[in-house]
């Protein structure tokens, strides 16, 4: 909870992928809850709730915490270029679900050409490469491309919590998981691990 209370973690919600043609972006779909809340709303509410718990923790552990104030958690929503406007409009219409405008950033994956198992570019039609959003593997590149790495550094962010918007089983900002990462000093990897 200390990492969250000190706002040293940001949330990167992966809201990209290919939309359902007749229904729109997956994070904005009605998933059948009585409340009619969308996946995106549930995730924003989770972030706010964990921030509230971390704030209470910070105040209980440090008498000066209240005077210094709390910095809110930054949320970066990454989507594809096809649903960027719709996601922005949805967040604006819902007043960012109570988050500060300076703490919510929506950015788009870049498109990448699809290749076959031999590395040959696939064609959508003659003389036109078949492209799709870059996917989860390109999320950090999107942060770089949009110039948000200096923003993360200026906010004192030391951890980025990746969360898909299509998995309600994911405990966004799970304090136990973050605490474990902090304890074992999880660092960046330059090479892929063996699967």
pTM strictly above 0.75: yes
Is the pLDDT at 50 greater than 80, yes or no?
A: yes
Per-residue pLDDT at 76: 92
pLDDT at 88: 93
Percent of the chain with pLDDT over 70: 84
9, 158 contact by CB (below 8 A): yes
Q: What is the phi/psi pair of residue 132, to 5°?
A: -145, 160
Instruction: Give the helix/strand (H/E) hosting 52.
Output: helix 39-61
Tokens of 49: 């709730």
* pLDDT of amino acid 25: 74
Q: How far is CA 58 from CA 3, 44, 160, 168, 179, in A?
A: 10, 21, 20, 27, 14
- pLDDT for 143 equals 83
Report whether pLDDT(190) > 90: no
DSSP secondary structure, 126-184, as one string:
TTEE-EEE--GGGHHHHHHHTT-HHHHHHTT--EEEEEETT-TTS-TT-HHHHHHHHHT
Q: Region 108-114: what's the mean pLDDT?
A: 80
pLDDT at 187: 63
> Residue 51: which pLDDT band, with cuts at 50, 70 and 90?
confident
pLDDT tens-digit map of 4-39: 888 889 999 988 655 555 566 778 877 888 999 988
Residues making up the chain, counted from first to last: 195
């Amino acid at each position: 909870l200390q990492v969250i209370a000190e706002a040293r973690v940001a949330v990167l919600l992966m809201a990209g992928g290919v939309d359902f043609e007749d229904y729109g972006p997956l994070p904005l779909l009605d998933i059948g809850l009585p409340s009619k809340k969308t996946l995106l709303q549930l995730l924003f509410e989770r972030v706010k709730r964990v921030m509230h718990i971390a704030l209470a923790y910070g105040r209980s552990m440090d008498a000066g915490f209240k005077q210094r104030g709390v910095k809110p958690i930054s949320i970066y929503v990454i989507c594809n270029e096809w649903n960027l406007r719709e996601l922005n409009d949805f967040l604006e219409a819902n007043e960012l679900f109570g988050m500060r405008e300076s703490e919510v950033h929506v950015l788009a994956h870049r498109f990448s050409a699809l290749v076959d198992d031999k590395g040959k570019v696939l064609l959508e039609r003659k003389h036109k490469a078949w492209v799709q959003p870059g996917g989860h593997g390109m999320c950090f590149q999107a942060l770089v491309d949009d110039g948000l790495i200096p923003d993360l550094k200026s906010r004192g962010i030391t951890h980025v919590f990746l969360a898909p918007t299509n998995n309600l089983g994911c405990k966004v900002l799970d304090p136990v998981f973050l605490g474990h990462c902090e304890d074992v000093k999880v660092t960046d990897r330059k090479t892929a691990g063996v699967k």
